[in-house]
Structure 1
Amino acid sequence: MAEHGAGGLAVSARDLGVEGPRGWAFRGVRVEADPGSLIAIEGPSGSGRTCLLLALTGRMKATEGTAVVGDARLPKQ
């Protein structure tokens, strides 16, 4: 069970990927961050940063891999 509190939520992703009509937005992403950690996403325009952030917030369905934010397994919860 992930910890909740003022420090935020744990974020975990394994082999996360999103494929769209024009190919992969991103693929094979792995993230492990404890509650309260700072996560920075960088890359050039068109590298899939926005898609990754949308997937980690549950607003875009991942094509492959798994992600958990707090107690929520994405994108189902």
Structure 2
Amino acid sequence: MVVERAFGLLKSRFRCLHKTGGFLQITPERAAKVFVVCAKLHNLCIDNGIDFDGQVDQHPDMDGQPYQGNVEPNAQRTRDALINRF
């Protein structure tokens, strides 16, 4: 039951892992790596006190499409650093 709850929590936090929020159209080997990264990001959130109540919030101005505007340079550097680190 503990493992099932953990999988459910990860699937709630990272919708790409859940069939209703999208799914990974990649090889099983790569999908396994994505799952491990999601688990590590989840643990990083726990370590840094970032709570997750299981609710997926969507900003009212968002239509579900990726952001296409200008990205603030510091934010992009931070994302790049996180991608390279993990």
TM-score range, shorter chain: under 0.3
Structure with the bigger RCO (C-alpha within 8 Å, sep 6+) is 1
Decide which structure has greater helix share: 2
Decide which structure has greater strand share: 1
TM-score, normalised by the number of residues in structure 1:
0.26
Larger radius of gyration: 2
